[in-house]
Amino acid sequence: MLSKIRKFSSSVFAKIFLFIVAIPFIFWGMGDLFSGGNKNTIVQIDNEKILTNDFLKYINIYGQEENKLNSNYVDNLLSNFIGAQLIKFEVKKNNIKLSDFALGQIIKNEKFFKRENKFSRTEYEKFLISKGVSAVNFEASISEEERKIQLLNFIAGGIAPSDFLVNSNFNRANQKRNVEIINLDEVANKKFKFSEEQIESYYKKNKNKYTYIYKKIKYLKLNPKNLTGNEEFSDLFFKKLDEIDDLISEGRELNYISNKFNVKIIDSPSFNKSGGILSSDKKIEFSNNIVEKIFKTNISGEAILLQDKDEYFVFEATKSEDIEKEINDKSVRASIIKNLENASKRKFVAEIIKKINDNNFRKKEFDEFIINENTPAKKIKIRNQNDQEILKQDLINQIYIYPEKRVIVVADLGFSETYLVYIDKIENVAIKKDSDDFQKYYNLSRDKMKNSLYNTYDSYLKAKYKIKINYAALNSVKDYFK
């Protein structure tokens, strides 16, 4: 129902408070199997049994809508859930507490609850109403998270990095690098041309790629203004949303809901799962998230309520059709050529990488490549690891992994930018204690040391507690979310 649509994981609170502390409790293997068939207990830690219902509540809070709840994702959530339970045990054993006064100060100092730079009880209540959470549960969650922070501070308190470590981290981020780069995309574009026969052959083998489902829908866009007459997300607004959700559950159609709440029905053009409008270069005005939900939910003739952030819609499909685009369609032809180019480029780049890995592509081969491919090499100076004047950040990060006098290939995630790079010279730098940035890199070094210590603490907890997973209960949870 509506509680699933407006579930807690999308709340500001979940993002602000529940993820403040991230410790890697996801690396142990699953423990011994329960011998019994009881599915009420999901895991046993030492002699304490943790209920399956508690894990389901955890999934409702932490399970992100953009991640499909498949088997692997549920396994990861269970590992994180067990880690959270271990931290609770440690908090309790170390007798870590948070006073009511301290809890009140944390809430009063949160910027989301301030108006004119002062704590506003009204803003606080509005937040609780809009997120569908009670003050008791909200404050209990804050208290729990704050006590976790205190535990971690207790574990890593007093850590002080050496000047050498601070300088090492400063140098890693700020050293200058003189490099030569060759744009392999330009080389590939000149190198590979495709005949009509190749294009037609690819189309015939991959016709299914160019068959698109187009949907045409009618919908209501719901907001506080057209449901309650004001601009605020009030309790009345959510009550009316609940009423609409109940009507949908009863099988009421869009026209009935439109008339009852006096909200205008809007008709959409036909569009595909990428949001592209049929016979047009334009895209539908829905967000990518909403378009994805429309196609994933398989909307038919029944009304359905969907949410995207602070926007709510009631959708009802009016038409769905499969349309196969012909080879002479501009978008199809462009897609075929792009796919052929990408396949050829990947093979071409893979051959270069193999030569580099086999130590058969050094500066000599780099210079010969320039001559043989009749392509220029651009000499650039990268001022620091955040210098994005010429190259994107992910490409810069790859360059900063390797030492000087090395030939490497760097590429972005989508393989849309690929460069052959020769790292000619590295200019190391140092930082003085009286520098304005010294404290910044001191803190960075200390955080890295803390993370290392937390990993050690993780190993300690794995050895300290005996953990048994009830796989019968776990499989039931996975079946529930299929």
pLDDT in tens, the chain (482 residues): 333 333 333 333 443 333 333 344 433 444 444 444 567 899 999 989 999 998 988 888 777 654 567 788 888 888 888 888 888 888 888 888 888 898 888 888 888 888 888 888 888 888 887 777 788 888 888 888 888 888 878 887 778 899 999 999 999 999 999 999 999 999 998 888 899 999 999 999 998 888 888 899 999 999 999 999 888 888 888 889 889 989 988 889 999 999 999 999 999 999 988 888 888 878 898 988 888 888 877 666 688 898 887 889 999 888 888 888 888 888 889 889 989 998 999 999 999 999 999 999 999 999 999 999 999 999 999 999 999 999 999 999 999 999 999 999 999 988 889 999 999 999 999 999 999 999 999 999 988 888 888 888 878 887 889 999 999 889 888 887 76
What pLDDT is stored for residue 149 in this prediction?
A: 82
What pLDDT is stored for residue 104 in this prediction?
A: 87
Residues pairing with 378 in the sheet: 181
CA 465: distance to chain centroid?
A: 31
In CATH, the architecture of 2-157+451-480 is: Orthogonal Bundle (1.10)
CB atoms within 10 A of CB 461: 18
Give Cα separations from 222 to 244, 256, 310, 367, 390 (angstroms): 10, 15, 10, 63, 45
**CA-wise closest residue to 185 among 24, 414, 404, 20:** 414
How far apart, in whole angstroms, are the C-alpha atoms of residue 211 and residue 174?
50
Q: Sign of the C-alpha dihedral, residues 282, 284, 287, 293?
A: negative
- SS3 state at 148: helix
Per residue, what are the HEC states of 408-451? EEEECCCCCCEEEEEEEEEECCCCCCCCCCHHHHHHHHHHHHHH
**CA-wise closest residue to 176 among 377, 441, 362, 387:** 387
Domain edges within the chain: 2-157+451-480, 176-196+331-427, 211-324
Maximum CA extent, the chain: 77
Summarised one tens digit per residue, pLDDT across range 143-195 is: 888 888 888 788 877 788 999 999 999 999 999 999 999 999 999 988 888 99
H-helix or E-strand spanning residue 183:
strand 176-183
**CA-wise closest residue to 132 among 28, 38, 17, 238:** 238
Cβ atoms of 420 and 406 closer than 8 Å: no
CA dihedral 121, 126, 129, 131 (to 10 degrees): -110
What pLDDT is stored for residue 129 in this prediction?
A: 79
Cβ atoms of 206 and 337 closer than 8 Å: no
Per the structure block, which two tokens stand in for 401? 């992994």
Residues pairing with 323 in the sheet: 212
Summarised one tens digit per residue, pLDDT across range 193-227 is: 899 999 999 999 998 888 888 899 999 999 999 99
Per the structure block, which two tokens stand in for 208? 């299914």
Cβ atoms of 215 and 270 closer than 8 Å: yes
Cβ atoms of 301 and 199 closer than 8 Å: no
How far apart, in whole angstroms, are the C-alpha atoms of residue 82 and residue 74?
12
What pLDDT is stored for residue 265 in this prediction?
A: 94
Q: Quick one: the chain helix, strand, coil %, rounded to 5? A: 50, 15, 30
Summarised one tens digit per residue, pLDDT across range 385-397 is: 999 999 999 999 9
